[in-house]
Structure 1
Amino acid sequence: MHKIEKILSAILPVLDQWGYVGIGVISLLEATPLVGFIVPGQTIVIISGFLAQNDIFNIWYLMIAASAGAIGGDLIGYILGKKYGHPFIVKYGKYFYLKEENYKKTKDLMTNHVGKALIVGRFTAFTRALAPFIAGIVEVPFIKFIWYNIIGGIAWSVSFVLIGYIFGASYKIVAKSLGVITTTVIVATILLMWLYKVINKKKHIFKKKHIIALIVNVFSLYIFGKMIEDVMRHQLITRFDVWVSEHIMNIWQPLLNKIMIVITGIGSPETVSVFFVAVMIFLLIKRKKYESIFLFSTFSFGMISGFLVKYIVGRFRPAIGLISETGHSLPSGHALGTTLFFMLFMYLFRNCVKNKILKTLFIIGNILMILIISFSRIYLNVHWVSDIIAGISLGIFWFTLAFLSFESVKAFSNAKEINK
């Protein structure tokens, strides 16, 4: 836990010095035409409210910073609208996925209900960054605009800071009973389910396999979080870890030892990285753009997250190992790396094997590689069982998350092609 405190001690001074400025700038950008469509200002303001509940920010300064940014962003939008008008949207809107129909809806609302458009509209995604700009186009009187702008900016900032603040209070209460990591996983699960529902309601792109992937994604995240929390709290799993570590040495045999050392070498992060680079080069040669991005991002983010967790948790390895290993223990880099690579390999090349029996053997072979390499780490007594479970579950989480993202991108791309 001292490493978490060390990281926080490095971050907190930066937040203390620049946090309010950052919130103000983000709130300003989200209220600015076009840019506001891609800046997640509302989400960041909610998170800042959550941090205020945990004494990282002062809630009053936070509200002032967010309000100032929101009001300033609206003012920029108004000035741009008055100066450049509709041609500005026509010329640059396509780069920010701004549809003409959204522009027309906001303009009609502005023409008939100025106050509603500027105050209530601030709480709606596409009108938030567009309404002030259109107010400038239709030449809403400046005094009238600035009045509604101030009311809307303050109302928006206070509301979303308080949402984060209240959520932070609830989080504290629940976390005392369930544990911080478990509670975080539950919250992440709710967000994933909500995101799935929103996307599928609009696009209808998800099938049964995607629902299964989402369930596996959530479950793997829970298992990963549970392993970390139980280890840090010295729960039952740690006693099981010790029992396995003490008894695994009883089955050590010279020939089996050599086999397991070879297997563990095949699954080392260095060796798996070589396999990864080889597959990456193959995909680039074949001009598989999406597949290469999918492979690179999933493997990279997965491995980086594993190293970060290792550093933060700082768990020691078993005392007596058959081979010498350095570095921290949880999650297992071998289990994580092989899970990521072989699941990605299985997914990317599954259609290359046409014969059903061979395809089944191909899938079983990849899964067995993950399990055998992972077991070799337990056999050699260089990892605890919970390290392996955490590594595999983290790998599955990243793979299923990337799979859902990749499938969504493909579905959106196909939909665009059909609409052309």
Structure 2
Amino acid sequence: MPDPLWLLRDLPSPVVLVAGGALIAAEAGLLIGVVLPGASAVLALGVLANLGIVAPALAVGTAAAAAVFGTQVAYLRGRRIGLTSRPYLRKPQLHATALLRRTGPLAFSLCQWLVGARTIAPRLAARAGISYSRFATISVPTAAAWGTSLVVVGYLTGAAYKAICQWLNYGALLIVAAVVVTTWYTTRRRQRPTQA
């Protein structure tokens, strides 16, 4: 398997930081963010910092600022347009906004750490009528802590990056072998005659 970061190694540091920051902010700020790899982008910034491609302080600052910016945009967009008007999603949205009203700050803090919830929770908070000041008081430090901690995790694992890439080569082969063995075993069991 080729090095997944090989394309980024030759790019100027500001380009890498802007691209990473845009992806992190878009994950929370845009509804399409549900499928964007924001957490992977933050971890990648940490790995790139370890490899000397970007400065560690800039990687942390970019990730934290982008995460904070994305959640604030999501809240403001939720206040203006909400999530969706599709009839089959109205009931789940009502349940989710009621849950946010009941749990308040704890829910905002936990949602920042969950894929998908980072995108939807700020919008639901706005729709639930939670004031911006209350939302920002919790979401700003939580989003900054999320971005910072994942960069640090990426930085610490950056030393093992080459070993991980090599392991993934073997891991892919092991997964294929497991699928083949499982398929063979399942097929064989189905073909056995049932005992009376």
- With the shorter chain as reference, the TM-score category is 0.7 to 0.9
TM-score scaled by length of structure 2:
0.76
Gapped regions of structure 1 (runs ≥ 5): 173-179, 197-207, 215-420
Per-residue CA shift, 1:160-185, capped at 9, x if unaligned?
A: 1111111113x16xxxxxxx4x6523
How far residue 17 of structure 1 moved from its aligned partner, in angstroms, is 2.5
Instruction: Indicate the residue corresponding to 2:27 in structure 1.
Output: 30
Q: State the one-letter code of the partner of 2:84.
A: I
Instruction: Indicate the residue corresponding to 1:211 in structure 2.
Output: 179
- 2:155 is the counterpart of 1:165: yes
Gapped regions of structure 2 (runs ≥ 5): 183-196
Instruction: Indicate the residue corresponding to 1:57 in structure 2.
Output: 54
- 2:167 is the counterpart of 1:186: yes
How far residue 154 of structure 1 moved from its aligned partner, in angstroms, is 0.7
Instruction: Indicate the residue corresponding to 2:128 in structure 1.
Output: 138
Contact 2:26-2:70 at 8 Å conserved across structures: yes
**Partners in 1 of 2:99 and 2:125 — Cα distance?**
10
- 2:56 is the counterpart of 1:75: no
Per-residue CA shift, 1:332-372, capped at 9, x if unaligned?
A: xxxxxxxxxxxxxxxxxxxxxxxxxxxxxxxxxxxxxxxxx
Richer in helix (by share): 1
**Partners in 1 of 2:148 and 2:172 — Cα distance?**
22
- 2:85 is the counterpart of 1:90: yes
Contact 2:44-2:154 at 8 Å conserved across structures: yes
Per-residue CA shift, 1:206-259, capped at 9, x if unaligned?
A: xx9971279xxxxxxxxxxxxxxxxxxxxxxxxxxxxxxxxxxxxxxxxxxxxx
Change (3 A) 1:13 1:188: closer
Change (3 A) 1:191 1:150: farther
Instruction: Indicate the residue corresponding to 1:66 in structure 2.
Output: 63
How far residue 109 of structure 1 moved from its aligned partner, in angstroms, is 3.3
Q: State the one-letter code of the partner of 1:27.
A: I
Contact 1:33-1:133 at 8 Å conserved across structures: no
How far residue 100 of structure 1 moved from its aligned partner, in angstroms, is 6.5
How far residue 153 of structure 1 moved from its aligned partner, in angstroms, is 1.0
**Partners in 1 of 2:37 and 2:173 — Cα distance?**
17
Q: State the one-letter code of the partner of 2:61.
A: I
Change (3 A) 1:13 1:211: closer
Q: How does 1:21-420 map to 2 (within 5 A)?
A: 21-85=18-82, 88-91=83-86, 103=93, 106-169=96-159, 171=160, 180=162, 183-187=164-168, 189=170, 211-212=179-180
* SS of equivalent to 1:90: coil
Per-residue CA shift, 1:295-315, capped at 9, x if unaligned?
A: xxxxxxxxxxxxxxxxxxxxx
How far residue 101 of structure 1 moved from its aligned partner, in angstroms, is 7.5
Identical pairs, percent: 20
How far residue 52 of structure 1 moved from its aligned partner, in angstroms, is 0.9
Q: State the one-letter code of the partner of 1:121.
A: C
Moved beyond 6 Å, runs of 4+? 99-102
How far residue 108 of structure 1 moved from its aligned partner, in angstroms, is 3.6
Q: State the one-letter code of the partner of 1:124.
A: L
| RCO comparison, higher one (Cα < 8 Å, 6+) | 2
How far residue 128 of structure 1 moved from its aligned partner, in angstroms, is 0.9
For the aligned residue pairs, the C-alpha RMSD in angstroms reads: 3.3
